[in-house]
């Protein structure tokens, strides 16, 4: 891939897959085929185009259910992304079941979406937010977890993989601790950074909710997934009103559709859902285990290369790390470094990564984040290292 302009002679080294992934041709082709060959709405027509579109749309739901090993495709709700999925649970489950004095437990590694959503409903209902602390190495302090769980704990919402440190949280262990100490609590797992890297079996995990975004698993933007145990979803009221989420409407009263239609008001993102289904098919063909092994080797290689540069500091040293590294540079703002890297056509993310409490915990304002995907190569990391060496020459006069 080349970028137009004065960098055109330099191939793109894309190291921002944690933010969003590049798309395989089958995803682009499926969406193009929908728009060109059978564009229509879903579930609202008996004509053949609509029937074909509805079939493709619901096939994607089945693909997602199988991908997560959900008990039924009826446990899969399509949303606009991880953020909307979390908000759906917070607004629907929280509004109905939270009372004053109830507790919501999150971790110190959360993305803002898994903080702010709960803060809003906690303020509305008079609930209290508690936080699992983060140790210096970037792992959660699970020794503290049992003491944070009480009879008032209503929700535990934890990220599977930190988008700022890369920590892979031991989700199965966390869920077991919660079930043993607060059996009344519901458990939501933010899988935005794990779904494209780690096999997830929601039945084996025994989580109540699991959420992720299409654009982070090689699918399109604008579509996401909320998995929920059917009985839990069925107990929740809708959070949006409109077409398709109803059984009957009169001016006096409305009765709502069964799950998952109850939570999918209005015309959905049809092309995006179809693209998501194709992305999952592609992931299944390539193999998540193979992708994870490839990325683990890249992380190891990157750590080795960065260790050669004393001015680079890697954030955290967790027991298990996902496909990303966050770094700081001695005496250099990461935003300045990112601009120089861009001149080299190396794409990385700089900032707080929508995880300001994580930055505060480690005493930094921002980091430079390089993250990997199925298409990342060692030479992309070499390009990053060469770019950092140029940054050091420009700002500090340091030669490597």
Q: Would the CA dihedral through 335, 338, 343, 347 be positive or negative?
A: negative
- CA 65 → CA 68, 77, 229, 269, 281, distances in Å? 5, 10, 12, 18, 12
Residues 6+ apart with CB under 8 A from 5: none
pLDDT of residue 9: 76
Whole-number pLDDT of residue 207: 98
Q: What is the Cα 383 distance to its own chain's centre?
A: 27
Class of domain 13-17+287-396: alpha beta
Q: Which residues contact 261 (CB under 8 A, 6 or more apart)?
A: 244, 245
d(CA 198, CA 217): 11
CB 60 within 8 A of CB 277: yes
Distance linking the first and last C-alpha atoms of the chain: 29
Position 304 scores a pLDDT of: 98
Please name the helix (run of DSSP H) or strand (run of DSSP E) that holds residue 190, with its range, or none: strand 186-190
Q: Is residue 354 among the annotated active site residues?
A: yes
Residue 274 to residue 55: CA distance in whole angstroms: 10
Sort 7 into a burial class: Cβ within 10 Å, 0-12 / 13-18 / 19+.
Answer: middle
Catalytic residue among 131, 333, 354, 398: 354
Domain 25-285, classified CATH 3.40.640.10, yes or no: yes
Cα 140 to Cα 177: distance, rounded to the nearest angstrom: 13
* CA proximity to 280, closest of 163, 200, 371, 168: 200
CA-based diameter of the chain, in Å?
Answer: 76
Rounded Cα distance between 10 and 345, Å, is 6
For residue 254, what are the β-bridge partners? 249
List Cα–Cα distances, 341 to 12, 325, 346, 367, 389, in angstroms: 11, 16, 5, 14, 10
- Name the nearest CA neighbour of 94 among 68, 73, 122: 122
This prediction has a pTM of 0.96
Length of the chain: 400
Condensed to tens digits (0 to 9), the pLDDT of residues 305-353 reads 999 999 999 999 999 999 999 999 999 999 999 999 999 999 999 999 9
Which is nearest to 212 in space by CA: 232, 227, 202, 197?
227
Task: Delimit the CATH 3.90.1150.10 region(s) of the chain.
Answer: 13-17+287-396
- Can you tell me which residue has the tokens 């509305």? 124
pLDDT along the chain (400 residues), means of 10: 56 97 98 94 82 94 98 98 98 97 98 98 98 98 98 98 98 98 98 98 98 98 98 96 92 94 95 98 97 98 98 98 98 97 98 98 98 98 98 90
User: What are the tens digits of pLDDT across the range 45-101?
Assistant: 678 888 899 999 999 999 999 999 999 999 999 999 999 999 999 999 999 999 999
Q: Where in the chain is the domain with CATH 3.40.640.10?
A: 25-285
| Residue 361 to residue 132: CA distance in whole angstroms | 12
Residues with Cβ within 8 Å of 386's Cβ and at least 6 positions away in sequence, in order, are 344
pLDDT for the residue 8: 60
Q: What is the dihedral of CA 315, 81, 212, 2, to 10 degrees?
A: -60
Give the pLDDT of residue 46.
77
Q: Rounded to whole angstroms, how far apart are CA atoms 100 and 103?
A: 9
pLDDT at position 7 is: 53
- CA 277, 279, 281, 287 dihedral sign is negative
Question: How crowded is residue 221: how many other Cβ atoms within 10 Å of its Cβ?
Answer: 16
């Amino acid at each position: 891939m080349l970028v137009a302009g004065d960098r055109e002679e330099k191939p793109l080294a894309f190291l921002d897959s944690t933010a969003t992934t590049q798309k395989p041709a089958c995803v682009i082709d499926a969406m193009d085929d929908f728009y060109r060959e059978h564009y229509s709405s879903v579930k609202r027509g008996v004509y053949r185009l609509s029937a074909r579109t509805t079939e493709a749309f619901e096939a994607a739901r089945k693909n997602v259910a199988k991908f997560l090993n959900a008990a039924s495709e009826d446990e899969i709700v399509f949303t606009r992304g991880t953020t909307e999925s979390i908000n759906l649970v917070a607004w629907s489950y929280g509004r109905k079941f939270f009372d004053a004095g109830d507790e919501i437990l999150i971790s110190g590694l959360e993305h803002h979406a898994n903080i702010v959503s709960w803060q809003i409903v906690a303020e509305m209902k008079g609930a209290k937010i508690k936080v699992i602390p983060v140790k210096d190495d970037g792992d959660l302090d699970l020794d503290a977890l049992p003491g944070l769980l009480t009879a008032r704990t209503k929700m535990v919402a934890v990220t599977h993989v930190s988008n700022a440190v890369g920590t892979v949280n031991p989700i199965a262990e966390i869920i077991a601790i919660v079930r043993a100490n607060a059996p009344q609590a519901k458990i939501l797992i933010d899988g935005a950074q794990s779904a494209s890297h780690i096999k997830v079996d929601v039945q084996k995990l025994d989580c109540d909710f699991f959420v992720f975004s299409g654009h982070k698993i090689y699918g399109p933007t604008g579509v996401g997934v909320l998995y929920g145990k059917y009985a839990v979803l069925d107990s929740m009221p809708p959070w949006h009103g409109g077409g398709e989420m109803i059984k009957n409407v009169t001016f006096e009263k409305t009765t709502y559709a069964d799950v998952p239609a109850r939570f999918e008001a209005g015309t959905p993102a049809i092309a995006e859902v179809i693209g998501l289904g194709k992305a999952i098919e592609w992931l299944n063909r390539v193999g998540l285990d193979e992708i994870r092994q490839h990325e683990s080797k890249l992380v190891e290689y990157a750590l080795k290369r960065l260790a050669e540069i004393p001015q680079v500091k890697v954030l955290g040293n967790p027991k298990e790390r996902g496909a990303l590294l966050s770094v700081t540079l001695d005496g250099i703002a990461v935003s300045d470094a990112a601009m120089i890297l861009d001149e080299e056509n190396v794409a990385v993310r700089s900032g707080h990564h929508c995880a300001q409490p994580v930055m505060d915990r480690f005493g930094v304002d921002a980091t430079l984040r390089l993250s990997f995907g199925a298409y990342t190569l060692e030479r992309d990391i070499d390009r990053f290292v060469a770019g950092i060496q140029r940054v050091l020459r420009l700002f500090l006069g340091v030669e490597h």
